[in-house]
Structures are given as C-alpha cells and as structure tokens.
Structure 1
C-alpha cells in the first residue's frame, strides 16, 4: 500500500478492513524505507540470523544490527495497529513474507555477494526463515484469535534464480541457475512451517514464467499470479487448481490508475472469458480470489482504495 509514515499505516489498515471484509491482510508500506520493504520486513522475522543494512543492501551479520532491530520494532508497531483495528474479526486473514529464494537473491553473505552463491548459506537462511515464520504465525494468531491465517509467500525472484538471471555483486556475471530439484527443498521447508503452524500457504509470483507446478509440488496450497503477464501455457495449471478447490489468486486489477476509467463490469467480463477458456464456470471456481496484479505501493491512495473496491465488486459479481 502507498504511504510513508505511521499515520499512513493506520489509514491503510482501515482501508483494507473496510474494502476487504472477507479477506483482509496486514498491509505493507515499503515507501517507509528498507526497514519496511519485502526483504527488511522478512528479515525482521528471522530470529536466528543477524542482519544489517549496508550500502549495497541487506547483509547477514554475526548479531542483529540496529537496522534489523528497527525493522522488528516497526513490524511490532504495525501488528499493534492491526490488532487494535481488527478486534472481534473472524474469518480468513492474510499475512505476507518473502520466500527463501527471493531472500537468497536479495541478501548478501557476511563477506559479500548474494547468499544465492553459497549452498550452505542458502540452506541456513531458508531454515531460519521457516523457524521465524512459525513464531510469526503464532504471534498473529494470538493477536487475532478468530483469524484463519493465509500466508502469502512472495517469490518474485524465483524465475530469475532458476534461469540464472541474478547478477553477481560485480555485475559482470550471473549466478548459476538453480534447477527445480534443487529449488524445491527450501520451498518445502517454508510451506511446511506454515502448514504445521495451522496456516494455509499460497505462493505469489507476478513474473511471466512463474513455476506453478514446482510451487504446488513443494507444498503451496495455491498460487497468486498476474494475469497480464501469465502465458497461456500456464492456464492448464490454474484450471487444475481451481477444479481441486485450491486457492488461485488472480491479479486482474491494475496496480496504478489506468488512463481510462475502469469498471467492475469490464474486469468481471475478463475473468469470465478466462474461466470459459479453462472450461469452468464461476460456480465451479469457488476458490478463485480476485486481486490487483501485484502490490499497490506505487499507486496514489485514491487508486489503492479504488483497486481494492473493484476486487470486491468483481468477486461479488462472480459469486
């Protein structure tokens, strides 16, 4: 969500609870800086590994640095705000965390270069993430006791990791590609931690080449994708998930205000055309969730609210 301070965060929580009564979530406001972005937010959960900010970004350290402690404090304040405004809530509630491969591609080792370059460091980071996620799920459940938690594991960098497109620190080379058998275990640890904690893991990736079968095979209950970039070759995977009643979060609402006004009818027709291509009708796709294409942090506040409202209207029309 857009915003740069605590007041913006309180407003974001209110907007989410007002516009998404059936599936609210803990908002993220990366505009507040690296302590609140996807990587910093997730490192705040990893209790067994230290980290700190360097000029090149987040780096693992022997002990938690001031920046990691600040990220943890900010997360705790945000959860306080969510807890206060969601008193008495019952139903599905979503939280988000960066996946192990996106972390490995964005966090540096103590001696430099990405964690991605070191097999042992990758394993250690993924295991620490899984353990920290267990504690985080328990904390959110304590704060919102009526919540049935849906945990979105964000893996925007996974396709680039698997294709060998992540640059080294020098920028002159690329890290070696990671094939599916080697990519799966880290995902399995994280998804299992969510499931064993009583949550439902859903993998989110808004890249065109999202490896749906890898993610679901590793334990994700479902996937979250951006229809604008998803190739038709992935449609069969979506159809299988919907037929099985597994979550499919379909990004069909723009993340920033379009040049021309967008109606809920237009978006609804688009979803219906897709379901028709898949050989499904809305009644047989009850596990479909309508979402923005990706995060709304780059939108203005007016469009962020409008986008969430559109999602709710389209879901209502489909139902």
Structure 2
C-alpha cells in the first residue's frame, strides 16, 4: 500500500477556509427560497446553489445542465431528453427554474447581510450529460465523437457564463462542481442504449480524461477557481479525475471500507499532491438513528489512518458533506444533515478530546 510517510505534503490554496463544510447539491421540496434559507443558514462558509429535482422535468441533473448549454436546445421525448432544432417549452422552463434559484439565493444572502466568501454551483459533467441525452436519430450523444465534442464545448461556455452571473449577482467568487455519477458505468461499457436492448461500447480512460480535462480547463480558467469533480460511486475513478485537472474530489467516504490498494494509492497520492477531498459522511436520507458527531466523522478518521496521514490532514484538506444529494430527505433531516456536516468540519480543525 502506498505510504506517505517521509513525503512532503504540498498545500494548495483554496477559496474556502479550514473547517469548511458544504452540500452536494440537491435539496428536498420545490421551494427555492426555503432551500436557500437552509443552505445559507447551515453552511455559511461554502453555501451551494440548491438544486430541487422534486420540481420535475428540467430540474433534474440532465435537464438542469442542458438549460445551461449554449446553442444546443433540448426537448423531452418519451425516452428522456433529446437534442432539438430550436428551444421549446421544456427548455425555457428549465432556464426559468435556474433563474428562480439564483434569485432566491441572492435574496436570502441580502436578507442575512452576511456575504459568504465563496459559493458553489453544480452541473453534470460532460460524460454524465452526454450519456443522458439522445441525438435526433435515437443514439446517446456520447456515441458520436463530433456531437460529444460539441456538447463539451457548449457545456464549458455555458458553465462559464452561469458562474459569472452567479458571481456577479452574489458579489462573491464561485466554484464549479462537475457531477459525474455515470462515468464509472460509461468506462465499464455498462451504459444501456436508449432502447434498453444493448449497451454502449466502453469509453477508454484516455478519451474520458481528455474530454473531461477540456471542460475543467475551460471552466477553471473562466472562474479562476479550482474545479471540483463529484462521483459517489463505490469505486470512483480518482486517478482519472486528478489527471484531468480536478483540484478537488467529492466522494462518498462511507463506501471506502475495503477498497482495493489501487484506489487507496490514488487517494493518498491526491492528498499528498495538495488536493482537497470533499468527503460524504452524513446520510442523504433520514436514518433510523441520527449519527453522533463521532460516528459521522469516523469514515474520515478511518481514511486518514488507512492512508497513513495524521488526522490533522482533515482540517487542512477535507470538506465534509452529506454522502450524496438530499433530494430524498425530508426538510427536517436536510437541515439536520447540513448542521451535522458543519459541526464535523469544525471538529476537524478543533477535534474533541474524545477523538
């Protein structure tokens, strides 16, 4: 197993301070003002622009991200999302939902009078996006190299514009999180065709890395901030994300027990290189018994020990989050979950004596 003892750990500047916590993205319900109130109140150092997939089509990860694309309108068909010749009702609806979300977050921040040092926005990464949209002839976008490149370029431009608008409206820096839940399936050749009767051929790691790197480079260059890549799969492709230029990785730390040595190596090398790990620690849905502070922090403490780092690494380069989005939670648990990750973040910096 990779052992960092004797290595000099490099520190990477990030726009968030030690002890910061944040959310993954989604929140329950359909009221953007209620969601913004919870996020700003519980996560004052790194609030995120809430996503509310409970509002239906156009509010889910694919529809929401498609609304950010430049000159690539999308429509809804029985099998899902498909490219369209011109913007239709569904596209305009998705764009309007994002505008309402920004309005709500701006109003809540203005009302509290406390401007956060940085705000996070989320969108599907290029592989998850193109896995979830069909071309006019019925194939997934990622199966057409030219269409894939066009979508990646449009996503880069749209995200840069989106981040710039949020930054201008909220008068604070914005970091972008690219969500890639579908990438492990794409790499494994396990993505089904739209018909459901076959699978899409596997994408090679170099090809996946290069497309993702193009988006990360463009978005990071536009915002001047590190780009986060999020994947809550049990075995996220950490090495690929790092090679693509991600400066922070968001993963579900509760799924890391028993991971292979190769993944341990990749995680250790990422931390040693100065990357921040956003560690999912608190359940995204109401548990039978809410975890204590120590129970919530345990996967992070175990990870530091597994990789051979002192626990102080958690205060320096770890950001606690829920294990994934909170769309499946009720409003009470969503608030409590974010309170708990905030408390864990502070405990990373000033650990209780019981630790």
TM-score with structure 1 setting the length: 0.95
Aligned equivalents of 1:261, 1:213: Cα separation in 2: 33
Preserved contact between residue 60 and residue 110 of structure 1 (Cα < 8 Å): yes
Preserved contact between residue 116 and residue 175 of structure 1 (Cα < 8 Å): no
* Residue 15 (1) aligns with residue 38 (2): yes
Give the equivalent residue in structure 2 for 1:51: 74
* Cα root mean square deviation, aligned: 1.4
C-alpha distance after superposition, 1:3-30 (max 9, x if no partner): 443xx22111010011111111000010
* Residue 24 (1) aligns with residue 82 (2): no
Q: Paired residue for 1:117, among 143, 161, 165?
A: 143
The answer to which of 119-128 and 95-104 deviates more is 119-128
Preserved contact between residue 304 and residue 313 of structure 2 (Cα < 8 Å): no
Aligned equivalents of 1:270, 1:116: Cα separation in 2: 35
Aligned equivalents of 1:208, 1:23: Cα separation in 2: 25
Which secondary structure state, in structure 2, belongs to the residue aligned with residue 252 of structure 1?
A: strand
Give the equivalent residue in structure 2 for 1:107: 133
Instruction: Report how many aligned residue pairs link the two structures.
Output: 316
Q: Paired residue for 1:265, among 294, 311, 314?
A: 294
Give the equivalent residue in structure 1 for 2:353: none
The one of the two structures with greater contact order (alpha-carbon pairs below 8 A, sep at least 6) is 2
Aligned equivalents of 2:94, 2:343: Cα separation in 1: 35
* Residue 306 (1) aligns with residue 336 (2): yes
Give the equivalent residue in structure 2 for 1:137: 163
TM-score with structure 2 setting the length: 0.86
Matches within 5 A, 1:75-90: 75-87=98-110, 88-90=114-116
Give the equivalent residue in structure 2 for 1:39: 62
- Tell me the CA shift for residue 232 of structure 1: 4.4
Aligned equivalents of 1:189, 1:70: Cα separation in 2: 29
Give the equivalent residue in structure 2 for 1:278: 307
Preserved contact between residue 16 and residue 27 of structure 1 (Cα < 8 Å): yes
Give the equivalent residue in structure 1 for 2:283: 254
- Tell me the CA shift for residue 39 of structure 1: 0.6
Which secondary structure state, in structure 2, belongs to the residue aligned with residue 86 of structure 1?
A: helix
Matches within 5 A, 1:108-257: 108-145=134-171, 147-197=172-222, 198-230=224-256, 231-233=259-261, 234-257=263-286
Q: Paired residue for 1:73, among 96, 121, 130?
A: 96
Preserved contact between residue 3 and residue 29 of structure 1 (Cα < 8 Å): yes
What are structure 1's unaligned runs of at least 5 residues?
Answer: none
Which secondary structure state, in structure 2, belongs to the residue aligned with residue 75 of structure 1?
A: helix
Aligned equivalents of 2:71, 2:255: Cα separation in 1: 37
